[in-house]
């Protein structure tokens, strides 16, 4: 049987989720394709879109509604960098102010810069 891996979901301000023994993770990528990640997956860095992220652990299957972000797979597991949780779509998209979008965009840019710095070190 395959060894479980870590799943961590981070925002610039907090850890949204840390699972020590994930069995698998499914996410939607920016190219609109889906990806399933299981133990032993090759290293990967990919952009995600606002969509549900599914995973399984010893307690069962779970779903998180996440904003767009960056997904990283390495030897320790899966890390998703995101600006936060999203609301499930209910027929229409909520209207947000330009100032709120700029603030979220600035936070995401800072997060992306930290990730890039980590990858280059």
Q: Tell me the pLDDT tens digit for each residue of 9-61.
A: 999 989 999 999 999 999 999 988 899 999 999 999 999 999 999 999 999 99
**Which of the four pLDDT bands, split at 50, 70 and 90, describes residue 94?**
very low
CATH architecture, range 5-90+97-120: Sandwich (2.60)
Residue 18: closest CA among 62, 50, 68: 62
Strand partners, 13: none
Domain boundaries, the chain: 5-90+97-120
Query: Can you give the pLDDT at residue 84?
Result: 86
């Amino acid at each position: 049987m395959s060894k479980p891996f870590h799943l961590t979901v981070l925002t610039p301000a907090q850890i949204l989720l840390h699972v020590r023994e994930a069995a698998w993770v499914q996410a939607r990528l920016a190219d609109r394709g889906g990806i399933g990640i299981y133990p032993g997956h090759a290293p990967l860095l990919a952009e995600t879109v606002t969509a549900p992220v599914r995973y399984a652990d010893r307690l069962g299957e779970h779903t998180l509604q996440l904003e767009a972000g960056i997904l990283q797979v390495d030897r320790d597991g899966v890390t998703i960098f995101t600006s936060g949780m999203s609301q499930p779509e209910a027929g229409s998209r909520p209207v947000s102010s330009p100032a709120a979008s700029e603030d979220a965009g600035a936070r995401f840019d800072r997060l992306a810069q930290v990730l890039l710095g980590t990858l280059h070190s």
